[in-house]
Structure 1
């Protein structure tokens, strides 16, 4: 009813956010409706008539008390009075707040967003009556406080002063809890922001998170697959057209709203970290686009010396033959050998007409906030982190934090104590105390370790610093299968020594061996019992049975046979099919080889074939091998096929994954296209030991062809 016919649309024009973009006439929310119009001619009367016709047809009534009119500052007073007379509703100064955020940015941005800081303070104060351990505070920071302002962070660029204040509140809550005033932080805020796999606590930096969330909207604009109203309007606003192409300049004319500036803040990051998949008619510039394995190609030294000359405007389509495929002679003439190998390994997909943008940091080529935040924070840490932060952990300790620390059995508080020991930031130590003396070398600690279940003599290997000593023992105990609970006793002993020390310093308690070892045994037994109950529930609670590896692979194979609707032509099992075994081989230079064998009724090969080519990765080589087999089978006149491969990850990609790996996305499209040539086509998984014929053919092709 709003758009109506052409005559009606001319009488009711929408608003444009700038010249040359799609006009907006209306936006519908769950229980709100917004209408936009230019006050020209009889626009007010026509809109009122549209609303009246809608009410008559639907039986609904507009609530005038909850409705309002908003005018731009340059609207003439006569037009304002006319609209008020036509609609008979009140005039509003603005939209007010939406989800707690004001929609009008007339005042200081710092004053507008100070409510985000107040929300964090209010939530922390609501927990004031709780007795929270460091583990509890960390859980609340990661699950509640870091996500408290996620909506605002994903829409607008937050001032740096506000993000710093929020980061400061999170850090203070972690180290000092509810204590007011200044507190001592035993490691820098940036170090605690590091991911757990790199030695930090994984507390997200709000400034970096803000940019990563804004980059998500920018990615939608760059990725031309998104056809939503938001992308259509803002592509035209920022780029001046409906689709983005490489090297397109950003429109700088006119005043930009804070929302547009926020998107541009994320767009700068996206444009620096995107790459291209060239189409068969690619118009990408060879020297300015990232199209060779996510990077730019390296020209030969002669071209660099001559300043590229007439090849300065060379396009990717100039490097290809008209029928498809790379002009290998020209590629070798222009680029260095390393770039040549990568270019020739990049397939030219016949179904990909236009260039496609992708993210080289993710498997499926799409932008995610998680991957974007990782790249943004790494750059932020390298620019702002101190030398002490960067050298706090050696390679051995970093590997332990990445692979072992946070996967250890036992309560979270044990892991946090261990983390503080490893990074050397355990609070509360007196001047005469060291970590080695407290936990290992003093007389009481030595007696405790020797009298424990493990019977550790601390005078051995005591030249190591405490962190490396603990890592060595944990690594040793993890490998002791006959004493699977030794690791829990070790961690319980470490935690008990720390509790004993605190009780001695702050409560004046003395060390009573009999009482101490009794408490230690009770604590370790309780944790072991809890883990046994958890393992029992995980194994039998939902009726899940444990199967061996071969049964699991067979189950996956059966699921794959019944889960490939896009690649099965004809009813499964209704015809006599030729079974083709296929395999591929690949090396780091981009050389790939493919082998296949057609099996007879007794499993003996009737036809064999092998071929050599190029691929960007082993996964892509397996997919190209399947494509080559289908092309060969089509040429031979086979109409009923079952293609078997031992690459389970490739078959799983075909079995319903929402976003395919960017290395095989285009190849899958070609396979889907050629599959229409067969009456019956299905894919199945086969174990490596049953695919020896195709595997040996691929190896021979790699060696001999």
Structure 2
């Protein structure tokens, strides 16, 4: 413990040097993630730190996050375990120190195992396991602290069923090399039917390649009903997002919440005298809150019987999916209403200020409009010549050069059906080929990559020498144009795309807005009504 005491002391000094009472909880969240949990990254990447160190760090961070003013007792309204969950799962995304230590050591062990030809891996092999593999390596008689840490990461790897040698199956054994398809007989023999359905959605590479280890990706639930996935990405100040998250997590000091923690206060609402002041009551059901909601521009009337804030927030998000701009305004104003209703309640309890619903409405609407105005970029356009304007047209607004072609692609993906659409145009804008293709894949990102691969194969067969590929999926374009390794689900497809590019003299990839990509989108959707790959006549009216 003494060896790593300096890190603890440095973390403590950084936290104590901050004016805690001047930081909102969103500010504290940023400081914990960017400062406190980052100071020990180097040490935890190489050594297994003592449990006492992790416990002390966890206590310091909890105290810093929940303490309001120096010298006063504080309440931890939400457990540290809940705070360490990702925002998609309803937490704040803090890192549990002990699990972070294990994860970083596991990453170090993974690097040693997956790249045994590197200099440092060969050195460690000669030193600690010269006659065996890394998975069978032992501690030895005189291990260093670094080797002890690597073996802790070794435990992380070997504890997962997918990395146990006795259960390993080579991918090459599951593939019919002649047809480049999955061997369904072997899949059904070795795997559960649900796993078989997932495996056959993995696209196979067009080119043979050696087996290699890949890092197992986490399985995320399909439907996340937590607040983080519903409101976490809204365009709101962090302090308001934080309040709404705490309100949905029973993490604010309503009188019912205080009494549940054995604090001797009355449970009645200080405004209307309702016997139980819950979060849902003070923000939605109190007569004061109902008057504010109904009198606002929203004209909203909370449900008459036991309204729940989480359900109301879900209705705002559902509306924003139907009418995006209007829905964002509704959700934003509603969030400011909740913020100012909470502030009005605290002004009554602590300062005796009665306030009125009209004040809450006026302040909320003004604050929301000010925030919207602050987000808008100033509209200024310097005078340009006609030539300059033509040169600055987006790429998708310019025709390809003489004898050049454009390939537009899109993918449609749902639980029950998935399909591709791709269209090739010449330098005059005329359609040369338009294809709809039903195809199984596991995600929209995978579908977009597959559509590009299939479109390239079609372009090569048409003898295209100059090609510009356009997609409305920015992520797949960025991955293709980047040298960094893509996610596992599309790694083989991206590799195929880069190899197919070499068959075309000039080939580039660019992102375009979805409204410009309407023909490829229509082709992908039309594939739902066809039995197999369909090449549409260029005289088709909707093309």
Q: Same fold (TM over 0.5)?
A: yes
Within 5 Å, give how 1:182-201 maps onto structure 2. 183-201=74-92
- Give 1:93's aligned residue: none
Distance 1:256 1:126 in 2: 39
- Give 1:269's aligned residue: 156
Q: Is 1:422–1:466's contact at 8 Å kept on the other side of the alignment?
A: yes
Cα distance, 1:183 vs structure 2: 3.6
Distance 1:401 1:519 in 2: 26
Q: 1:540 to 1:248 in 2, by over 3 A?
A: farther
Distance 1:599 1:475 in 2: 41
- Give 1:347's aligned residue: 204
Specify the structure having the higher radius of gyration (Cα): 1
Q: 1:439 to 1:667 in 2, by over 3 A?
A: closer
Cα distance, 1:190 vs structure 2: 0.5
Question: What's the C-alpha RMSD, in Å, of the aligned pairs?
Answer: 5.3
Within 5 Å, give how 1:368-379 maps onto structure 2. none
Q: 1:484 to 1:684 in 2, by over 3 A?
A: closer
After superposition, the C-alpha distances for 1:70-121 in whole angstroms (9 at most, x for unaligned) are: xxxxxxxxxxxxxxxxxxxxxxxxxxxxxxxxxxxxxxxx222233322222
Cα distance, 1:262 vs structure 2: 1.3
Match of 2:465 among 641, 665, 689: 641
Q: Is 1:594–1:697's contact at 8 Å kept on the other side of the alignment?
A: yes
- Give 1:116's aligned residue: 7
Match of 1:211 among 75, 96, 102: 102
1:502 aligns with 2:346: yes
- Give 2:30's aligned residue: 139
Q: Is 1:196–1:402's contact at 8 Å kept on the other side of the alignment?
A: yes
Q: 1:609 to 1:474 in 2, by over 3 A?
A: closer
1:463 aligns with 2:306: yes
Within 5 Å, give how 1:46-61 maps onto structure 2. none
Gaps of 5+ in 1: 1-109, 277-283, 293-315, 362-370, 379-394, 544-551, 562-572
- Give 1:175's aligned residue: 66
Match of 2:229 among 391, 402, 422: 402
Distance 1:588 1:487 in 2: 28
- Give 1:525's aligned residue: 366
Within 5 Å, give how 1:190-589 maps onto structure 2. 190-224=81-115, 227=118, 229-237=119-127, 240=130, 248-270=135-157, 288-289=167-168, 316=172, 325=180, 328=183, 331=186, 334-335=189-190, 338=193, 342=199, 347=204, 350=207, 352=209, 354-361=210-217, 398=226, 400-405=227-232, 407-409=234-236, 411-427=237-253, 429=255, 430-433=265-268, 434-435=277-278, 436-454=280-298, 456-457=300-301, 460-469=303-312, 471-472=314-315, 487-507=331-351, 509-513=352-356, 517-518=358-359, 521-522=362-363, 524-537=365-378, 555=395
Distance 2:373 2:12 in 1: 40
Cα distance, 1:170 vs structure 2: 1.0
Secondary structure at the aligned position of 2:488 is classed as coil
Q: 1:131 to 1:555 in 2, by over 3 A?
A: same
Q: Is 2:408–2:471's contact at 8 Å kept on the other side of the alignment?
A: no
Q: Is 2:62–2:80's contact at 8 Å kept on the other side of the alignment?
A: yes
Distance 1:257 1:347 in 2: 43
Q: 1:698 to 1:558 in 2, by over 3 A?
A: farther
Secondary structure at the aligned position of 2:482 is classed as coil
Distance 1:177 1:125 in 2: 13
- Give 1:618's aligned residue: 447
Q: 1:214 to 1:140 in 2, by over 3 A?
A: same
Q: Is 2:174–2:187's contact at 8 Å kept on the other side of the alignment?
A: no
Distance 1:162 1:191 in 2: 21
Q: 1:470 to 1:623 in 2, by over 3 A?
A: closer
Q: 1:444 to 1:158 in 2, by over 3 A?
A: same
Secondary structure at the aligned position of 2:167 is classed as coil
Q: Is 2:20–2:68's contact at 8 Å kept on the other side of the alignment?
A: no
Distance 1:206 1:175 in 2: 18
Q: Is 1:332–1:340's contact at 8 Å kept on the other side of the alignment?
A: yes
Distance 2:89 2:79 in 1: 15
Distance 1:476 1:675 in 2: 43
Match of 2:50 among 137, 155, 159: 159
Distance 2:472 2:325 in 1: 31
Q: Is 2:20–2:64's contact at 8 Å kept on the other side of the alignment?
A: no
Q: How many residues align?
A: 496
Query: After the TM superposition, which of the residue ranges 593-602 and 495-504 deviates more from structure 2?
Result: 593-602
After superposition, the C-alpha distances for 1:347-392 in whole angstroms (9 at most, x for unaligned) are: 366452x32122242xxxxxxxxx7xx99xx9xxxxxxxxxxxxxx
Cα distance, 1:248 vs structure 2: 4.6
Q: Is 2:409–2:423's contact at 8 Å kept on the other side of the alignment?
A: yes
Cα distance, 1:592 vs structure 2: 9.2
Q: Is 1:583–1:698's contact at 8 Å kept on the other side of the alignment?
A: no
After superposition, the C-alpha distances for 1:307-337 in whole angstroms (9 at most, x for unaligned) are: xxxxxxxxx459756x785695974795569
Distance 1:419 1:657 in 2: 38
Q: 1:254 to 1:326 in 2, by over 3 A?
A: farther
- Give 1:656's aligned residue: 482
Cα distance, 1:166 vs structure 2: 0.9
Q: Is 1:117–1:162's contact at 8 Å kept on the other side of the alignment?
A: yes
Within 5 Å, give how 1:8-47 maps onto structure 2. none
Gaps of 5+ in 2: 256-264, 269-276, 384-391, 511-515, 535-543
Normalization by structure 2: what TM-score? Answer: 0.70
